[in-house]
Amino acid sequence: MIRSRMPDKAKARSMLTAAVTDMRFVEKLPVTSESTLSIIRGVYEDFRMLGDALLTAGGSEAEGIDHHFEMINALMKLQTKAPRSLLVLHELRKLRHKINYQGYIPTEDEAKYALSIKEALWLPVLEEVKKSVDK
């Protein structure tokens, strides 16, 4: 559920900085059986943070059981020129959910898949979120 709140551009910019910093770290992780959990969670959480920043800057807040869905959904409204559909972020969300709540251990191929999503979408989405936050 989305509720109204006061727009907070400073908090949104802080979220952007945190997401970029964390993604730089995630990119450096070698893909091994021990790093798959961290890579997938990191890529997902950094995109989720972009969605949260978008909502925060626009005067909204996601809450309730579906709050992560709402944050990712906020990114779906962006007009990006990405080489891949933003809908794959929901697949990444489902994978992260299986990891966190069902004890799923992802394969190295799944971590590579998450990194391919990052490679295709990160910069186009980040640029559009920055534009929205800086309006």
The per-residue pLDDT for range 67-88, each reduced to its tens digit, is: 889 999 999 999 888 889 999 9
**pLDDT tops 90 at residue 65:** no
pLDDT tens digits for 92-132?
999 999 999 999 999 999 999 999 999 999 999 999 999 99
**Strand locations in 22-112 (E):** 60-62
Distance CA 122, CA 23 (A): 9
